[in-house]
Structure 1
Amino acid sequence: MASSNSGAASTTERSYYDGDVDFDVLAEQDADFAAICRVSKDERWIDFQNPKVVQQLTKSLLKCDFGVSIQLPDDRLCPPVPVRWNYVHWIQELLDTTSDTYSDRYDPEREVIGLDIGVGASCIYPLLACSSRSSWRMAGTDIDQHSLSYARKNVDANGTSKRIKLAHTTTDSPLIPIDALKIEELDFLMTNPPFYSSTEDMQASYTAKTAPPSAVCTGAENEMICPGGDVGFVTRILTESLELRDRVQWYTAMFGKISSLQIVVAKLKEHDITNFAVTCLQAGYRTKRWAVGWSFGDYRPRNDVARHGELVQAVLPSPTAQTISVPLMDSKWAGEKVDEVIGELAVKWRWRANLSTGLMEARENVWSRSARRKRKFAEEGGKGPSNDVTMGGGDGEGSEDEDDDDIALAVKIVCKSEVVELRWLRGSDYVLFTSFCGFLKRALTSKA
């Protein structure tokens, strides 16, 4: 981890961990960590095969980077902090870029409720979420009473008992016990499920690796193994999500293998779930994890969030951004042309000339040649089609009785020197987005 990631916990805008831990910086900040370090040839290092040393690394990172303190039993998983934080931060970006404000930024006033399925003894995900976002609350579940007892101690020790609620579940309980928790809706759920389907599966995974494990594993069997492994676990969540649908905005899960991600993405496509996001959560040079999130809503995450990290083409969702090149044209010219072209459409259009930025919302495709001919015919006194819908012209206000649920496409347009950037904000139809992009490109690049 880069040394810039270790410091006093000003965490609301904390970025991803993107490198190995800087042991020198961490040792300067925390005497307990310095005490477990070894120095050889002026290089500080630690013994990752010693459970107590690994525990102290986790405790020191949580203390120095997030102001969080935890206690861990010797017979349960000790969670590495960097990749856990990267998972939490990715979810934060998912929510920040899929709000009804279209802002793409963190809104400290937005109240968020999340669920961690399988909190473990550390309760690390709820603690990271609440320590970094003051208006967030978390629920957490686990089937292991021993882990829950430690999790509750950690919640109390950090003064978060009013913001983090924990519940015991059983192997027969729903994985998303939203009704049992008396929660009407969730903004997100997350899970770091057991990776393996059996003891043999786990042993085979270790045997297949070309290098030994980077750190000792102290996980109990219920933390490492479940029927079907991580794919089986997340498939259960997917099945439950098909019933709950938009009672949860984002369903997310983390995997230990990219092959698991590939299988689950294929399952999402089988169920015609097109609004999904994927990430490679690399933290350091050896540890990689992968995550997926899916939504039944139509707010689209920013492109670098939906397709985050190093990923194979097969798992990528449809892009939520396009760029139109307008060579030799400055942002003022491009902005005037964009405002003119879109202002003539039957859409809701808000243009900010000082920012060279606009927001377009449409109920249907009104930019096709046939749609524009119908509108022209109607304006010239002909009888327009009975299903012709107008959202207002270029005044940007639309009709007073306009139903927000009728919006089929929302796009943010930013004009810069020699390029126009289009950001897909909302909609269920990728073809509609690309159609609009094509229309605007023709309008901007036509020589006529």
Structure 2
Amino acid sequence: MASPTPSKPDADGRAFYENDVDFDVLAAHDSDFAAICKVSKHKRWIDFQDPKVVKQLTKSLLKCDFNLTLDLPDDRLCPPVPVRWNYIRWIQELLDTTSATYNDQYDSNREVHGLDIGVGASCIYGLLACKTRPNWHMAGTDIDAHSLTHARQNITANDLDPRIKLVQTTTEDPLIPLAAINRSKLDFVMTNPPFYASDQDMQSSYINKVAPPSAVCTGSANEMICPGGDIGFVSRLLAESLELKHSVQWYTAMLGKMTSLQQIVSELKKHEITNFAVTGLQAGARTKRWAVAWSFGDRRPRNEVARHGDLVHAVLPAPTAQTLAVPMMDARWAGERVDECLRTLDVTWQWEAAVSIGVLEAGGNVWSRAARRKRKFASEAVEGEGLRDVKMAGAAEDGGRGEKEGVALAVKITCKKEEVELRWLRGKDHVVFTSFCGMLKRTLTGRA
């Protein structure tokens, strides 16, 4: 990318925006942007209160960093690119780290279907998602015909008509109109809802700020205001998700305030939704935004994805990783101990000794003393009965977990010099994960 500082290398070559846009770099790549820059003391700057300047910044970033073209009407929102891209990038990582393969990496062969609720005139989320992931498909909705007209023009201008489909809805329609978009299941839903509950609410937010808004706002009333503001909109999305549940793998939403994020996380907990993720989307020193995602499935995102960005402790989900310190031990020695231990349990265990990495699947807590006694009795009962597999006896006691859907816990174990990393891949109960971590720690160190 021309402008951001990459957070880390990624398989598909993309990264989060982390810092303010480097105007010098962008101007060197795009003459249209260079033309609207001002220079003082050898430093480039732009007037964020000029709508034409703000629009050019968005167009230049999309052109230079994503090879996208964009045309916007003067009376609709101009989307800042960094925060929008960070939202898309985070969703990509959510899906990459909760796939059925357990590999935590981008799978270019995976076909993904998403929905953007409220595409606006730019359709920026659909454009970014499909431009950076060739096997992704997007549906989009909006209640505003004027915005949809421009959104369709942007889709066509970027040759993405086959992969982005738009539907006009009303305020009475479901937020997730599966029938209207001709889908029974979706991999994710996203939305950047109006943040304010009323015009008075919006005006008071500006008055209460210490500094003026970082950029001029050209949004229409329907883009800025809805009943209950962002909390009301996302609460409505949550209510629909409680009905649809597994029809969508990840429900996600952007929020305008940390207090809004705290309220939505509190609502998730009230409904006993424990598989959720949160992120701070800020890029540089300007406007802060946050996002939340929740799932009714049991695939757990990587820890740095589930708890990503600048956040407060109250909104954090349960960790999906633990690191066990094993002083004076190399990876091979630790791996042998782990392999030896897990082969005694009633689990599915795949171990790659050459790289000291393994994946465990269990139907429940089979490492407790009670479970070990049951296994011992089962082993004695079948002794002498030929080739009957003791593991099948244990599986029956655990509810017949021979099928993949019977997995209560999946963990990836990576042995390194003086430490063992445990990555929670799958499961609904964090207590089971922490119990397994405790058992393995005792095995490796002899300490609780």
| Distance in 2 between residues matched to 1:78 and 1:389, nearest whole Å | 63
- State the match for 2:353 in structure 1: 353
1:140 paired to 2:147: no
| Distance in 1 between residues matched to 2:306 and 2:382, nearest whole Å | 45
- State the match for 1:172 in structure 2: 172
Q: What pairs up with 1:322-341 in 2 under 5 angstroms?
A: 322-341=322-341
Distance 1:415 1:401, change over 3 A: closer
Q: Report Cα offsets for 1:305-324 as digits up to 9, x if no partner.
A: 00001111111100000111
Q: Report Cα offsets for 1:34-84 as digits up to 9, x if no partner.
A: 110111111111111000000000000000000100100000000000000
| Distance in 1 between residues matched to 2:203 and 2:148, nearest whole Å | 27
- State the match for 1:278 in structure 2: 278
- State the match for 1:243 in structure 2: 243
SS at match of 1:349: strand
| Distance in 2 between residues matched to 1:434 and 1:173, nearest whole Å | 43
Q: What pairs up with 1:425-440 in 2 under 5 angstroms?
A: 425-440=425-440
TM-score (norm 1): 0.94
1:30 paired to 2:30: yes
Checking the alignment, whether the CA contact within 8 Å between 2:378 and 2:390 is kept in structure 1 is no
Q: Deviation at 1:286?
A: 2.1
- State the match for 1:390 in structure 2: 391
Distance 1:33 1:341, change over 3 A: same
- State the match for 1:396 in structure 2: none
| Distance in 2 between residues matched to 1:97 and 1:250, nearest whole Å | 12
Segments ≥4 residues shifted beyond 6 Å: none
Q: What pairs up with 1:15-414 in 2 under 5 angstroms?
A: 15-381=15-381, 390=391, 402-414=402-414
Counting aligned pairs with the same residue, the percent is 68
Which amino acid in structure 2 is aligned with residue 121 of structure 1? Answer: A
Q: Deviation at 1:287?
A: 1.9
Checking the alignment, whether the CA contact within 8 Å between 1:97 and 1:301 is kept in structure 2 is yes
Ranges in structure 2 where 5+ consecutive residues have no aligned partner: 384-388, 395-399
| Distance in 2 between residues matched to 1:327 and 1:23, nearest whole Å | 48
- State the match for 1:397 in structure 2: none
Checking the alignment, whether the CA contact within 8 Å between 2:5 and 2:19 is kept in structure 1 is no
Q: Report Cα offsets for 1:138-163 as digits up to 9, x if no partner.
A: 00000000000000000000000000
Checking the alignment, whether the CA contact within 8 Å between 2:50 and 2:216 is kept in structure 1 is yes
SS at match of 2:190: strand
Checking the alignment, whether the CA contact within 8 Å between 1:2 and 1:19 is kept in structure 2 is no
TM-score (norm 2): 0.94
Q: Report Cα offsets for 1:116-146 as digits up to 9, x if no partner.
A: 0000000000000001000000000000000
Checking the alignment, whether the CA contact within 8 Å between 1:11 and 1:66 is kept in structure 2 is no
Which amino acid in structure 2 is aligned with residue 127 of structure 1? Answer: L
Checking the alignment, whether the CA contact within 8 Å between 2:3 and 2:65 is kept in structure 1 is no
| Distance in 2 between residues matched to 1:286 and 1:30, nearest whole Å | 22
SS at match of 1:176: coil
* Number of residues of Structure 1 aligned to a counterpart in Structure 2: 435
Q: Deviation at 1:190?
A: 0.3
Q: Deviation at 1:374?
A: 1.5
SS at match of 1:262: helix
Distance 1:391 1:97, change over 3 A: farther
| Distance in 1 between residues matched to 2:29 and 2:2, nearest whole Å | 15
- State the match for 1:12 in structure 2: 12
Checking the alignment, whether the CA contact within 8 Å between 1:346 and 1:392 is kept in structure 2 is no
SS at match of 1:366: coil
Distance 1:389 1:137, change over 3 A: farther
Q: Report Cα offsets for 1:363-417 as digits up to 9, x if no partner.
A: 111100111112112223389xxxx993699xxxxxx993111000000000011
SS at match of 2:410: strand
- State the match for 2:442 in structure 1: 442
| Distance in 2 between residues matched to 1:351 and 1:196, nearest whole Å | 52
Ranges in structure 1 where 5+ consecutive residues have no aligned partner: 394-399
Distance 1:65 1:3, change over 3 A: closer
Checking the alignment, whether the CA contact within 8 Å between 1:347 and 1:391 is kept in structure 2 is no
Q: Deviation at 1:164?
A: 0.2
| Distance in 2 between residues matched to 1:314 and 1:435, nearest whole Å | 23
Q: Report Cα offsets for 1:13-52 as digits up to 9, x if no partner.
A: 2100000010011011111101101111111111110000
| Distance in 2 between residues matched to 1:392 and 1:108, nearest whole Å | 39
SS at match of 1:204: helix
Which amino acid in structure 2 is aligned with residue 140 of structure 1? Answer: G
| Distance in 2 between residues matched to 1:155 and 1:270, nearest whole Å | 40
| Distance in 2 between residues matched to 1:11 and 1:58, nearest whole Å | 26
| Distance in 1 between residues matched to 2:205 and 2:4, nearest whole Å | 34
| Distance in 1 between residues matched to 2:202 and 2:393, nearest whole Å | 60
| Distance in 2 between residues matched to 1:229 and 1:333, nearest whole Å | 56
Checking the alignment, whether the CA contact within 8 Å between 1:196 and 1:202 is kept in structure 2 is yes
Checking the alignment, whether the CA contact within 8 Å between 2:116 and 2:141 is kept in structure 1 is yes
SS at match of 1:372: helix
Q: Deviation at 1:2?
A: 8.2
Distance 1:404 1:267, change over 3 A: same
Distance 1:5 1:163, change over 3 A: farther
